[in-house]
Amino acid sequence: MSLSRPAEGYGPRPAEGYGPRRGLVPPPLSLMDAEGNFDMRGGLAVKAPPPCTEVAKALCAWLAAIPGVGHARLGGPPSGGEARIELRLGLAPTAGEEAYSIMLAPGGALIEAATTKGLARGAATLWQLALSEGSVIAACRIEDSPRFPWRGFMLDTARHFFPVETIERFLDLAALHRLSVFHWHLTDDQAWRIDLPSLPELAQAGSRRLDMRYNVPVWKAGSYSPLDVRRVVAFASARGIEVVPEIETPGHVTALLASHPELSCLGASAPGEGAPRFEPADSYGVFEDILCAGNDKVFELLEKAFGDLARIFPAAFVHAGGDEAPKTRWMACPRCAGRMRELGLAEDDHEGLQAWFMAKVAAILERHGKRMVGWDEILDSEGWIPPSAVVMSWRGYSGGERAARRGHGVVMCPQTAACYLDHKHLDRIEEPGQLGVCTVRDSWSFEAVPAGLGGEAAARVMGGQGNLWSELVYFGKQAEYMAFPRLCALSEALWVPAQGRDFGDFKERLAVHLGRLAALGVNHYRGPLE
């Protein structure tokens, strides 16, 4: 049995299996209807080998909430009319890390994969079927695998704090759409949200700020403890999702400077009582104060910070920012000028200085067993960034194209091509959002590999993601409205080859799928799709 996608796309498929009756989003590679029904009205007994226990627990939680199922338990033979679901690590590794197959029959269900991630994808597909068809699901056979390994969702918890419960809800919804990465934006000018054991002062000073909308002191506050992080990571792992944390450097650091003003260029030039004071910002934009590239103590702090981060986040990647770092302070800083002379940089090559800075960060992360991810500004100067660094292209496609041709892994999320979920759904005054318009069709039309990028360079595109910045997103239900159904559309764009997609087919399936979101109580956008 082969689960690789044909180069020409999907090819022929049974119309009944892909019509509105099934409505799977994204659609599987192959779905064939079979005789009979898989009946869960007597409850469920889920069998899984020890490596798959956490995935099985997640599946039990999902299916136990389906009306008519009653209960779903892990382990033991079925009894009292219970249906059986078996999770099995039986596919050959050559099928792909996230490939899976599902057999639904009157006698039971089998989800098979080569890895626990593949089983999580199969479990999510079964969850989709149960959400739309209930406790009695028409029998079928499904075979599936994704196009890209990086199918991500970014949530900005720095501008506005979201509790762990909200993050877990988003992880469940990401799993429902077979996404694979949660990019957790933890620090910015407005807050430092993570409690690091080696540097407790960062969150103590940086995790709260005055809300300037009030005449009396009202604080916006919140941070995540190591216990919170481990809870989120475990919850995500059970759903086959990696959590990639982001700590911004060298810009977007006002909240960091609240506890360490001496690490700014101004603080380095005026130490002690003459040092400037910083408070987490209550406004938004790009701020001139960034970390001083000429101060070795900056890298001592980052060594501690990224070391702590590496110990509590098991993912192979850590995002180190690198975006929107104005060079105004560096241009006037004697220490930065001295660093540039030391490196042999031209006196006006401040982009080269940033590239050196980010290369130092990459080396820190490598010492802790992690690969650095950075926004596409990290490649604005050549010669410093190691090939292991992954470039996240947000200023259009060009940064990602340049990175892929230089040998870097690339994650595409251009704000110009429907990956920014903080934009408006439609160009209407009553729609929430900022900076631009991104329709559902725009998101569905996203293609991670730009035209003209081929061969080995195209193969370096790891995938893409949707980014939800929270400057104007204040609470979880508003975040849901901004994300869905555009994130449904993006999940399909990253799962299915472009030549295998049809928007009319998507709209039919989405009509079914919105019923699933409604059943889960998701506050989604309900307007025109294009």
Q: Of 323, 428, 412, 310, whose CA–CA distance to 371 is shortest?
A: 310
The answer on pLDDT for 423 being more than 60 is yes
CATH number for position 51? 3.30.379.10
Rounded mean pLDDT, 97-117: 96
Rounded mean pLDDT, 470-484: 96
- Measure Cα distances from 371 to 29, 368, 397 in Å: 31, 9, 22
Q: How far is CA 177 from the centre of its chain?
A: 12
Q: Of 335, 337, 352, whose CA–CA distance to 269 is shortest?
A: 335
The rounded distance, in Å, linking the Cα atoms of 173 and 157 is: 17
pLDDT tens for each residue of 347-364: 999 999 999 999 999 999
> What's the mean per-residue pLDDT of the chain?
92
- Quick one: pLDDT at residue 360? 98
Q: Is the residue at 80 inside a domain?
A: yes
- Quick one: pLDDT at residue 211? 81
User: Is residue 169 classed as helix, strand or coil in its secondary structure?
Assistant: helix
- When mean pLDDT is compared across 24-38, 259-273, 423-437, the lowest value belongs to 259-273
For residue 48, give its domain range. 15-144
Q: pLDDT-based confidence at 413, cuts 50/70/90?
A: very high
Q: Of 1, 12, 102, 27, whose CA–CA distance to 505 is shortest?
A: 27
Q: In this structure, which amino acid lies at residue 126?
A: L
Q: Is the residue at 428 inside a domain?
A: no
Q: Of 239, 359, 243, 242, whose CA–CA distance to 302 is shortest?
A: 359
Q: Is the residue at 76 inside a domain?
A: yes
- Quick one: pLDDT at residue 223? 98
pLDDT tens for each residue of 205-255: 999 998 877 888 888 899 999 999 999 999 999 999 999 999 999 999 999
Q: Which residue has the higher pLDDT, 30 or 498?
A: 30
Q: pLDDT-based confidence at 320, cuts 50/70/90?
A: very high
Task: Mention every residue, 6+ apart, whose C-beta is less than 8 A from residue 283.
Answer: none
375, 322 contact by CB (below 8 A)? yes
Beta bridge partners of residue 89, listed in sequence order: 113
What letter would DSSP give residue 25? S
Per cent of the chain over pLDDT 90 is 85
Rounded mean pLDDT, 367-377: 98
Reading the block at residue 94, the tokens are 């050559």
Task: Mention every residue, 6+ apart, whose C-beta is less than 8 A from residue 257.
Answer: 263, 264, 267, 278, 289
The rounded distance, in Å, linking the Cα atoms of 85 and 109 is: 5
Q: In this structure, which amino acid lies at residue 469?
A: W
The rounded distance, in Å, linking the Cα atoms of 157 and 346 is: 38
Q: Is the residue at 431 inside a domain?
A: no
192, 206 contact by CB (below 8 A)? yes
Terminal-to-terminal C-alpha distance of the chain: 39
pLDDT tens for each residue of 47-69: 999 999 999 999 999 999 999 99
Token look-up 């197959």 returns 101
Q: Is the residue at 427 inside a domain?
A: no
Q: pLDDT-based confidence at 397, cuts 50/70/90?
A: very high
**pTM for this structure?**
0.94
What's the order of all strands across the beta sheet hosting 30-39? 30-39, 136-144, 100-105, 108-113, 83-89, 44-47, 72-74
The rounded distance, in Å, linking the Cα atoms of 206 and 278 is: 10
The rounded distance, in Å, linking the Cα atoms of 64 and 81 is: 15
Rounded mean pLDDT, 365-375: 98
- Quick one: pLDDT at residue 217? 83
Reading the block at residue 56, the tokens are 């099985």
529, 507 contact by CB (below 8 A)? yes
Q: Is the residue at 325 inside a domain?
A: no
CA atoms within 13 A on the CB side of 64: 12
Reading the block at residue 191, the tokens are 């807050």
83, 65 contact by CB (below 8 A)? no
Q: Is the residue at 82 inside a domain?
A: yes
- Quick one: pLDDT at residue 501? 86
Token look-up 């469920």 returns 44
- Quick one: pLDDT at residue 101? 97
- Quick one: pLDDT at residue 272? 64
DSSP string spanning 317-385? Answer: EEEEE--S---HHHHT-HHHHHHHHHHT--TT-HHHHHHHHHHHHHHHHHHTT-EEEEEGGGGSSSSSS
The rounded distance, in Å, linking the Cα atoms of 344 and 324 is: 24
Q: pLDDT-based confidence at 494, cuts 50/70/90?
A: very high
Q: At what angle do helices 476-483 and 164-176 cross, to 10 degrees?
A: 20
Count structural domains, the chain: 1
Per cent of the chain over pLDDT 70 is 95
The rounded distance, in Å, linking the Cα atoms of 132 and 389 is: 42
- Quick one: pLDDT at residue 322? 97
- Quick one: pLDDT at residue 40? 96
The rounded distance, in Å, linking the Cα atoms of 42 and 371 is: 48
Q: Is the residue at 94 inside a domain?
A: yes
Q: pLDDT-based confidence at 80, cuts 50/70/90?
A: confident
- Quick one: pLDDT at residue 386? 95
Task: Mention every residue, 6+ apart, whose C-beta is less than 8 A from residue 262.
Answer: 268, 271, 275, 295, 297
Reading the block at residue 279, the tokens are 């408070």
391, 460 contact by CB (below 8 A)? no
Q: pLDDT-based confidence at 270, cuts 50/70/90?
A: low
Q: Of 519, 477, 514, 530, whose CA–CA distance to 25 is shortest?
A: 514
The rounded distance, in Å, linking the Cα atoms of 76 and 178 is: 28
Token look-up 């792909």 returns 96
- Quick one: pLDDT at residue 92? 85
pLDDT tens for each residue of 379-392: 998 889 999 999 99
The answer on pLDDT for 18 being more than 70 is no
Token look-up 């997640």 returns 58
